[in-house]
């Protein structure tokens, strides 16, 4: 188990050097996305015949942010800064108040395609993901970063800037795409690009322990 400081965008080489158990501090620009955002990306960008004109700008933005980048499974608590709200860009003027990870497994049906489509190097969430994502991590050079569930104030402190936000009115605050710049965001690698998953290993061991407890029950 090693400790790394990585800056986004991340190279394939840097991601392939990571193994389960490694502690990483992430810096750079990432985007939040959870249930509605994943469904939207799949339906609008990936499985659609053509991306509608109205969605083209966001598509290009996400392509730029996610090439070598990261999606953070998170629905934050935000506060709007009092006017005049710096910086003077669309969606700016917000701050993150509390921003821990949400449970990732709900995105399992979408994530492998999204990793492949955008050329991502990782996702951040909690609770781990399934075999499809693990395979995508192996094939495309990505990892699953586990943030500490519930550590929302601490993680919000590493969010230095809310760059912009997309789809806030349509999807609501928790489900919007928040583009954020972080410094020293603490995570642990629990699924690596070599086919190992802490979650699979712990689950197998706990099921064996359950069998023993139930066998001795009567």
Partner 1 sequence: MNDQVEFFVELIRRAATDLPADVEAALRTAQAREGPGSAAAGALETVLENVALARAHSTPICQDTGVPIFYVHHPQGMSTRQLRAHTEAAVAEATSRAYLRPNAVDSLTGRNSGNNLGVGFPTFHFEEWEEDYLRVDLLLKGGGSENVGVQYKLPYAPLKAGRDLEGVRRVVLDTATRAQGKGCAPGVLGVAIGADRGTGYVHAKEQLFRPLGDVNPLPELATLEERLLRECNELGIGPMGFGGKTTVFGVKIGAYHRLPACYFVSIAYMCWACRRARMIVRNGEVEYC
Least Å distance, CB 201 to partner 1, is: 8
Span 120-159, contacts to partner 1 by CB under 8 A: 126-128, 146, 148-157
Element (H, E) at 88: none
Q: Quick check: is 199 catalytic?
A: no
Q: What are phi and psi of 128, to 5 degrees?
A: 85, 170
State the DSSP string of 123-139: EEEBS---HHHHHHHHH
Per CB under 8 A, 218 contacts partner 1: yes
Q: Give the CA distances from residue 182 to residues 96, 118, 119, 126, 134, in Å, rounded to whole numbers and listed in that order.
A: 11, 20, 20, 18, 25
Span 157-196, contacts to partner 1 by CB under 8 A: 157, 171-175, 186, 188, 190
d(CA 171, CA 113): 21
Single out the catalytic residue among 19, 38, 194, 199.
Answer: 38
- Binding segment (CB under 8 A) for partner 1, from list 6-14, 42-50, 71-79, 113-121: 71-79
Per CB under 8 A, 112 contacts partner 1: no
Least Å distance, CB 157 to partner 1, is: 7
Among the listed residues 56, 155, 161, the one whose alpha carbon sits nearest the alpha carbon of residue 98: 155
CB 96 within 8 A of CB 74: no
Catalytic residues: 38
Contacting positions for partner 1 (CB under 8 A): 1, 21, 23, 36, 74-79, 97-100, 102-103, 105, 126-128, 146, 148-157, 171-175, 186, 188, 190, 198-199, 201-203, 205-207, 209-210, 213-214, 217-218
């Amino acid at each position: 188990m090693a400790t790394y400081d990585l800056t986004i965008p991340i190279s394939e080489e840097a991601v392939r050097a990571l193994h389960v158990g490694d502690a990483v501090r992430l810096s750079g620009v990432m985007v939040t996305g959870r249930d509605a955002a994943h469904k939207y990306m799949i339906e609008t960008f990936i499985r659609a015949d053509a991306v509608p004109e109205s969605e083209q700008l966001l598509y290009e933005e996400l392509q730029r942010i996610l090439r070598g980048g990261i999606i953070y499974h998170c629905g934050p608590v935000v506060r709007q800064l009092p006017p005049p709200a710096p910086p003077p860009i669309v969606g700016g003027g917000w701050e993150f108040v509390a921003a821990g990870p949400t449970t990732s497994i709900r995105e399992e049906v979408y994530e492998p395609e999204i990793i492949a489509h955008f050329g991502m190097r990782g996702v951040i969430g909690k609770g781990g993901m399934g075999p499809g994502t693990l395979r995508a991590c192996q094939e495309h050079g990505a990892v699953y970063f586990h943030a500490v569930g519930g550590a929302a104030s601490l993680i919000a402190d590493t969010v230095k800037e809310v760059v912009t936000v997309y789809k806030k009115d349509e999807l609501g605050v928790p489900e919007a795409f928040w583009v954020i710049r972080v410094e020293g965001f603490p995570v642990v690698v629990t699924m690596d690009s070599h086919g190992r998953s802490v979650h699979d290993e712990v689950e197998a061991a706990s099921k064996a322990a359950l069998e023993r407890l139930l066998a001795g029950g009567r």
